[in-house]
Structure 1
Amino acid sequence: MADQVEQAVAEALGKLGLEGKAGLLAGADMWALAAVPGIGLGELVMSDGPIGVRGRRWTSVDPSVALPSPTALAASWDPELARRVGRLLAREARRKGVHVLLAPTVNLHRSPLGGRHFEAYSEDPYLTAEIGTAYVRGVQDGGVGVTVKHFVANDAETQRFTVDNLVGQRALRELYLAPFEAIVRDARPWGVMAAYNAVNGATMTEHRELLRGVLREEWGFDGVVVSDWLAARSTVGAITGGLDLAMPGPRTVYGEALVAAVRAGEVDEGLVDEAARRVLRLAARAGVLAGAAAPDGSAARADATEETAADTAADTAADGAALAREVAVRGCVLLRNEPRDGRPVLPLDPRGGGIALIGAAARDARVLGGGSAQVFPDHVVSPLDGLRAALPRQEPLVYAQGADPSEELGAAGGGFALHAVALGEQDRELGAEPLPSGQVQWLGDLPDGVVYGDLRAVEVRGEFVPSVAGAHRFGTRGTGGFRLEVDGRVLFDGVQADAHEDPFEAFFGQPVERGVVELAVEQPVGVCLRYELPPELAELPIQAVGFALLHGEPERDPEELLAEAVAAAAAATSAVVVVGTTERVESEGFDRADLLLPGRQDELVARVAAVNPRTVVVVNAGAPVEMPWREDVAAVLLAWFPGQEAGAALADVLLGAQEPGGRLPTTWPARLADAPVTRVTPQDGELPYDEGLSVGYRAWAARTGPAPAYPFGHGLGYTDWEYTALEVLPSRVAGSPASVRVAVRNTGDRAGREVVQVYLTPPGGDRRLAGFATVVAQAGGSAEAVLDLPARAVEFWDEAAGGWRPEPGPFTLDAARSAAAPLLTATFSR
């Protein structure tokens, strides 16, 4: 099949002149490469992930399955589950006509302040590599490509377009490049995405040493290197550095600019040929180049029509809901579970006499992180809905908000019936589409019949039926001219601007409250928000419209809300408090300022715990938060951003239908001040990675001082385990220095799942994760895991020699339940 692909690529390439080849290297629009019928090339479409497939249009009109965040998937410590996620996403991609998924993100959790922490897997390169490899295999099993991102050291968001990250060669190799190397070696991805940032002086889209030298020549990568969107800045620098595809199009540094550079003698046409060959190879692998075989051996298909008919949206949605629920359960990390009345408080007894469910996130769960990872599911199961459905009908369930974590208005949602109307000159209607929320987000593709050059304004029109009476708040978000009218009253008529340094954040703008309107219950009122496109949008290299109608229910007295929650908790047998972050805390485009829960959520937990000893706290966040109350509550359950089935999965865990299966993929500090690495803000454009290898659990172990709140690898279940044997065996696979057998026994009274972790320590070196496996056993039953240690576990990067060298032995091996809890120890020599 490989020969057939290469033959088809060569034939297609031979039919192209310089203009045609250069045109292959520039996107035709925001998400696609243009079809070239004369060489048998169909259109190739890309789409953001990694927790769903948005498709060509960033709109809720075309809903997507929304899986839990990557941190939740990594918390399962289960590569096979990650591979199943990849396969589901491949089906979703084919259904939406997508050929390449812009995922996974395999940057590291270098600092807990990283704003995009939720979109990456772990602080550990080995765990990241294992989950990422399985995810890539799963997607590509289904005939859909990936672009592993963001290559490399894109570990924070502050000044991400310009920052120069200064990383020592050993840390670069052993930590930040390591997941990419493993995925290239073991999964052969079709694409890699070059990051915005620079590394050691060279911006990544032009980094000849890393793109050509390491990625291609050393590792043998034969896929496409695509820029992050708008990352490519120099025609000559990019093509000579090793960038194949500059996105988005059509206004990029390639295309006509590349033709001109070749003709001016600035670029060797052979470099254009190499890049065009790789783009055609991607098209062949994706099944959109005539004469090539698709990955499953079938003839290449120009579109997904037949497959879409067989693999229906309903089937994919049902399978996606089931898998989303499973991942959410398996990723839940039970951090604490103290006994009350002689037994751990979790799982809750459904006949226990009543549950108080508390917290704004219990009613309106945050199921995914902000930024390009967002998709629009067709439904979301809130914790309130999930518990109501799972509890026996006679079991009392009382809900109280307690505290509002957000100080900003959100996009108009419940009670609104809205549609967006695109307007041209003299307000001529160009097209329209329904809006499930007040957010308009058109990037690249517009509603049917709308041409971007003709667009002058967009109006969000409709009506609102309040469910509560009082002073409802309305506002706007975006950059441009706005006129907001509610119930015949003009609340704002003017221009809104945003000077945020990150273009992504500046484009979408800040939420601004514009006024309040007294409304009665169930009395419909008209709503209209007119948005005038600012002239500067015409200068952007992308066709984009983004703004929002905002709404907030009447504000209530904070003390009254807290008192209601305390009263509900005091009257219930158990209290479940759901706390979390907001989109203004965790999102693409900025880093976090602290690890505090927003609003008065910490106070809420403390006051509830004071009146109910059976208080369970569920943390709805994608990354670490400070939990000053953690020793005062009975149980702490980390749910991450749990995807569309959030409430159903949470009910499964709280009521014991399923065991929380997760283990921490990153260390949780008690306080930000305790964290070993906190600097994410560059100085004079540079961010030194001065900590070297001391990242994550390695850094915590290497220093004296406060221990973390919960260590890497930590997680409890609903049963207990005894580790009975650790044995070093001769290697079973080529390249592995040894195999390890770990035997365990379930000493509890119910079936359970355990994540067996093996850590290796070289003489005088840091402990590092060297293997892991999940095992299952019935109550009283035994299980064993046999792990093959990776070669890299006993090697280090010799900066002086510029290569990998074996560590001296002997090595210490620990079988452990976390990085801080070794249970059995053995030694071995190579």
Structure 2
Amino acid sequence: MIEATDLVGAMTTDEKVDLLTGQGMWRTHGVERLGLPALVMTDGTYGVRYSISQIDEKQEAGVDLDAFLATVNRKANDVEIAWGSMKPATCFPNGSSLACSWDVELARAMGEALGVECRAMGVDVLLGPGVNIRRTPLAGRAYEYFSEDPIVTGELAAAMINGLQGQGVGASIKHFACNNSEVERTSMDSIVDMRALREIYLRGFEIAIGKSDPWTVMSAYNRLNGEQAAESHWLLTTVLREDWGYRGLVMSDWHGIKDRPASLWAGNDLDMPQSRTRRDELLEAVNAGTVSLESLDTACIRIVELVRRSEAGRAVKPKPLDHDAHHRLARKLAGESIVLLKNEGAVLPLAAERLKSLAIIGPSAIEAVIQGSGCATTSPTRVDQPLAEIQAFAGDCEVRHFPGTGSPEALAAALAGAREADVAVVFVNTEVGWDGEGSDRSTLALAEGQDALISAVALVNPRTVVVVASPDAVEMPWVADVPAVLATFFSGQAMGGAVADILFGKVNPSGKLTTSFTRSMRQIPGYLTYPGENGRHVYSEGLFVGYRSHDTLQTELLFPFGHGIGYSGFAYSDLVLDRDTLRDGETVSLRFKLTNTGAVAGRETTQVYVLHGKPRVSRPAHELKAFIKTDVAPGETVDLTLALAADDLRYYDPARECWILDTDDIIVEIAASSRDIRLQAPLKTRSRVGRFREITWDTQPGIILATPIAHAAFRGFIAERMEISEDDAEHILQHCASSFLGMATTLDRRLRQRITREEVQPLLDRINADIRAWEQQPGD
């Protein structure tokens, strides 16, 4: 096989430029004379969206006017209007649903299934998963994303990518970075401070890329701190390639590049989809010498290497496609992901043999709400109807359905039916169409009239169960009035069956929230600066995203991050750490016991948080650092072991541009949610790195005196400079300790001693060099 460099060397400039430009909507260009094939890619963060007209018929990018106008008001169920005739594919739980499983093995299994379906359709690269942080539950594409936390996001994304790529299909992790809102998404400038950027918004990408090596990374539409993300050398080269060591291909989001030559220099290799305008701009820049042949060849080599990976993937015999098996997997995934938020009085599970009648209320019990709108929308192979699935479990129990909405008569009928039933199950959802790409939600409320419907039903039947389908968190003004609430998020085509499994106890619910449910929109961190203005969106909450804000401020929530209950109870005990002090490069092992105190087998997601003591920099009260999901039989006690690496406890120092382990006395927390801490143990973290700040011309004397190396150096300098003893120099330093000015300025002001910058700079350089040398020495 010809080496990639030799193959690129044999190409003409026109062929190279074509190679870096999409062909139609979903293909790359090949170079037929050199035996380099084109690749096929398509969307799908939770299902393969295969457009027959755009892929098989090689329809060019763009549509005619009539077709365009037909797509303007498309909804989630109108996918054929938007994308033409679609091949059916399994619609798995969407990201915000799947993540609630907290199960990396299930995520891997879903990735494998997606890979099998891609192989069957001839798709080489699947454009997913989406791993942006769910900074606000209003975000239009929040349903595609995993969590408000980067650890959950990164771990689940890595598992899904490994499953997908294990089937010989490349992933495209997206959208890099800070695509956290759909408001003016191609031009809005996300203004994010460096610590929040590194510790929150880039961290999930970093974890996933490090653990799965996705074949491609997709750059985001938005600007980031003043630069178009698709044209940011800092983001695509400095961070992605130099800091993280990524060697794969970077592609643009569709029409996400505004300056093609600039994007290539930044590290954005492939421009998607086909654009003659941008292609010609690149060719002109190459011919003019403003884009170097070296950067052109480097990008082309990455394309060739991607094709080689795909060819190797195609050579692997795929697993047979079995849509029925994939539907069963979708049902299992949904069952593991649906969150039982509340179950007062053990209303659930339902025992059909003890029920005479059930009232099933709401239109979505018939027309299930299973997915969001936009590019990720999948044409499902089949859809479970919740009502039919409930009837299958009900036996001799009478099951009646009432729409409940649309007219006063429909509401009256629903209330009459609920009053007569043993249990009322109300299916509700957010407004369909405001849950997807291109628009953020404007409210956390359910669709019009549904909050009132729940309240009315609860008044006539104290055994009311509410099943909520939503892209992200919703407000629940009625939550105190109902005993049981299930959150399905968008659980995919098998949602109806999974809900029935949980309602009747076939499945013991084990999903837990990966986002916080606030009582109102005003409690969302960053609410006051959302969605930005004049093209700038300031992430004013900084590090304090989601539970990091709520738990630090002790906000009164509906349901906290990590919350979810089941039909079992779990007890935690006997936490032991294998060390009391953790230093750079070390790992601490956590051992504890988990007991199922219930009467049925269950699965528990244990979360590990770190509670900061007196950190040197601003940090949230506590932060998730690890998690594990465990099967436990009734009455069984299992021994669990988790590891925390010192690297995972670091913070990012923008001044030094590096990660630093704090010197702090922290608490390791074993928890059932961020507000349900079951076990605690102390742990010291010790590192010399970053313990002392850099000393500059205007560093205040108090800081200098608190830095032993600087303290001694200034004492010696003053003694020599003023021809006095070191004891007298120490007295001078102590006299200056309270000054709010720099040391040199303080000596001038208080003792009329004029010291120039030229005199002090060698001293400052020596101090800072000695501090760096001291940091590298062993010891605390």
TM-score by length of 1: 0.76
Counterparts of 1:673 and 1:213 in 2: how far apart (Å)?
Answer: 37
Counterparts of 1:373 and 1:574 in 2: how far apart (Å)?
Answer: 36
1:446 equivalent in structure 2: none
- Give the deviation of 1:670 after TM superposition: 1.3
Q: Is the 8 A contact 2:582 2:646 kept in 1?
A: no
Query: Which residue, 532, 535, 544 being the options, matches 1:694?
Result: 544
Q: What do the CA deviations read for 1:641-694 (whole angstroms, capped 9, x no partner)? A: 111111111110000000111000000011112222324322111011111101
Aligned residue for 2:409, secondary structure, equals: helix
Asked whether 1:816 is paired with 2:671, we answer yes
**Gap change, CA 1:275 and 1:733, over 3 Å in 2:** farther
- Give the deviation of 1:613 after TM superposition: 1.0
Q: What do the CA deviations read for 1:250-287 (whole angstroms, capped 9, x no partner)? A: 43523x33222111121111111010011111111111
Asked whether 1:684 is paired with 2:679, we answer no
1:325 equivalent in structure 2: 331
Aligned residue for 2:368, secondary structure, equals: coil
Counterparts of 2:376 and 2:42 in 1: how far apart (Å)?
Answer: 10
Aligned residue for 2:186, secondary structure, equals: coil
**Gap change, CA 1:252 and 1:275, over 3 Å in 2:** farther
Query: Which residue, 344, 362, 367 being the options, matches 1:359?
Result: 362
- Give the deviation of 1:390 after TM superposition: 2.5
Counterparts of 1:734 and 1:825 in 2: how far apart (Å)?
Answer: 22
2:13 equivalent in structure 1: 18
Question: What one-letter code is carried by the residue in structure 1 that aligns with 2:35?
Answer: G
Q: What do the CA deviations read for 1:686-737 (whole angstroms, capped 9, x no partner)? A: 0111111011101002225x41100000000101111112121359999553
Query: Which residue, 177, 199, 209 being the options, matches 2:224?
Result: 199
Q: Which has the larger radius of gyration?
A: 2
Counterparts of 1:759 and 1:367 in 2: how far apart (Å)?
Answer: 32
Counterparts of 1:780 and 1:318 in 2: how far apart (Å)?
Answer: 35
Query: Which residue, 12, 35, 53 being the options, matches 2:48?
Result: 53
Query: Which residue, 363, 372, 386 being the options, matches 1:369?
Result: 372
Aligned residue for 1:217, secondary structure, equals: helix
Higher strand residue share: 1
Counterparts of 2:564 and 2:254 in 1: how far apart (Å)?
Answer: 37
Aligned residue for 2:493, secondary structure, equals: coil
Asked whether 1:253 is paired with 2:278, we answer yes
Q: Is the 8 A contact 2:51 2:87 kept in 1?
A: no
- Give the deviation of 1:100 after TM superposition: 0.4
- Give the deviation of 1:241 after TM superposition: 1.3
2:513 equivalent in structure 1: 664
1:496 equivalent in structure 2: none
Query: Which residue, 604, 607, 613 being the options, matches 2:456?
Result: 607
1:410 equivalent in structure 2: none
Counterparts of 1:252 and 1:28 in 2: how far apart (Å)?
Answer: 13
Aligned residues: 647
- Give the deviation of 1:8 after TM superposition: 3.4
**Gap change, CA 1:80 and 1:736, over 3 Å in 2:** farther
2:712 equivalent in structure 1: none
Q: Is the 8 A contact 1:770 1:790 kept in 2?
A: no
Query: Which residue, 610, 617, 622 being the options, matches 1:760?
Result: 610
Q: How does 1:629-668 map to 2 (within 5 A)?
A: 629-668=478-517
1:85 equivalent in structure 2: 110
- Give the deviation of 1:792 after TM superposition: 4.0
Counterparts of 1:773 and 1:183 in 2: how far apart (Å)?
Answer: 17
Counterparts of 1:177 and 1:711 in 2: how far apart (Å)?
Answer: 23
Q: Is the 8 A contact 1:31 1:56 kept in 2?
A: no
Asked whether 1:42 is paired with 2:24, we answer no
Query: Which residue, 20, 28, 33 being the options, matches 2:23?
Result: 28
1:266 equivalent in structure 2: 290
- Give the deviation of 1:808 after TM superposition: 1.2
Query: Which residue, 652, 655, 659 being the options, matches 1:797?
Result: 652
Question: What one-letter code is carried by the residue in structure 1 that aligns with 2:143?
Answer: F
Q: Is the 8 A contact 1:814 1:822 kept in 2?
A: yes
Aligned residue for 1:388, secondary structure, equals: helix
Aligned residue for 1:286, secondary structure, equals: helix
Q: What do the CA deviations read for 1:93-121 (whole angstroms, capped 9, x no partner)? A: 00111000100111011112111111100
Counterparts of 1:54 and 1:61 in 2: how far apart (Å)?
Answer: 7
Q: What do the CA deviations read for 1:325-349 (whole angstroms, capped 9, x no partner)? A: 011000010000000xxxx000011
Asked whether 1:117 is paired with 2:142, we answer yes
Counterparts of 1:636 and 1:606 in 2: how far apart (Å)?
Answer: 13
Q: Is the 8 A contact 1:60 1:376 kept in 2?
A: no
Asked whether 1:825 is paired with 2:674, we answer no
Asked whether 1:786 is paired with 2:635, we answer no
Question: What one-letter code is carried by the residue in structure 2 that aligns with 1:377?
Answer: P
Aligned residue for 2:542, secondary structure, equals: coil
Query: Which residue, 434, 439, 442 being the options, matches 1:585?
Result: 434
1:166 equivalent in structure 2: 191
Counterparts of 1:282 and 1:790 in 2: how far apart (Å)?
Answer: 33
Q: How does 1:41-190 map to 2 (within 5 A)?
A: 41-57=36-52, 58-190=83-215
Q: Is the 8 A contact 1:196 1:231 kept in 2?
A: yes
Q: Is the 8 A contact 2:45 2:95 kept in 1?
A: yes
**Gap change, CA 1:61 and 1:189, over 3 Å in 2:** closer
1:337 equivalent in structure 2: 343
Query: Which residue, 566, 575, 582 being the options, matches 1:717?
Result: 566
Counterparts of 1:762 and 1:162 in 2: how far apart (Å)?
Answer: 37
Q: Is the 8 A contact 2:584 2:647 kept in 1?
A: no
Q: Is the 8 A contact 2:606 2:672 kept in 1?
A: yes
2:352 equivalent in structure 1: 350
Q: Is the 8 A contact 1:332 1:637 kept in 2?
A: yes
Q: Is the 8 A contact 1:71 1:640 kept in 2?
A: yes
Query: Which residue, 602, 623, 628 being the options, matches 2:477?
Result: 628
1:540 equivalent in structure 2: none
Runs of 4+ that moved beyond 4 A: 310-313, 730-736
Counterparts of 2:474 and 2:645 in 1: how far apart (Å)?
Answer: 33
Counterparts of 2:370 and 2:561 in 1: how far apart (Å)?
Answer: 23
Counterparts of 1:785 and 1:191 in 2: how far apart (Å)?
Answer: 36
Q: Is the 8 A contact 2:431 2:448 kept in 1?
A: no
Query: Which residue, 748, 764, 774 being the options, matches 2:629?
Result: 774
Counterparts of 2:209 and 2:601 in 1: how far apart (Å)?
Answer: 37
2:702 equivalent in structure 1: none
1:480 equivalent in structure 2: none
Q: Is the 8 A contact 1:762 1:794 kept in 2?
A: no
Q: Is the 8 A contact 2:582 2:683 kept in 1?
A: no
Query: Which residue, 389, 393, 404 being the options, matches 2:392?
Result: 389
Q: Is the 8 A contact 1:570 1:612 kept in 2?
A: yes
In structure 2, list runs of 5 or more residues that go unmatched.
53-82, 686-780
Q: Is the 8 A contact 2:347 2:484 kept in 1?
A: yes
Counterparts of 1:149 and 1:828 in 2: how far apart (Å)?
Answer: 36
Counterparts of 1:562 and 1:734 in 2: how far apart (Å)?
Answer: 63
Counterparts of 1:118 and 1:736 in 2: how far apart (Å)?
Answer: 37
Counterparts of 1:637 and 1:775 in 2: how far apart (Å)?
Answer: 21
TM-score by length of 2: 0.81
1:512 equivalent in structure 2: none
Aligned residue for 1:789, secondary structure, equals: strand
Q: Is the 8 A contact 1:332 1:661 kept in 2?
A: yes
Q: Is the 8 A contact 1:721 1:746 kept in 2?
A: yes
**Gap change, CA 1:172 and 1:657, over 3 Å in 2:** same
* Structure with the larger RCO, 1 or 2 (CA within 8 Å, 6+ apart): 1
**Gap change, CA 1:636 and 1:38, over 3 Å in 2:** same
Counterparts of 1:325 and 1:59 in 2: how far apart (Å)?
Answer: 28
Higher helix residue share: 2
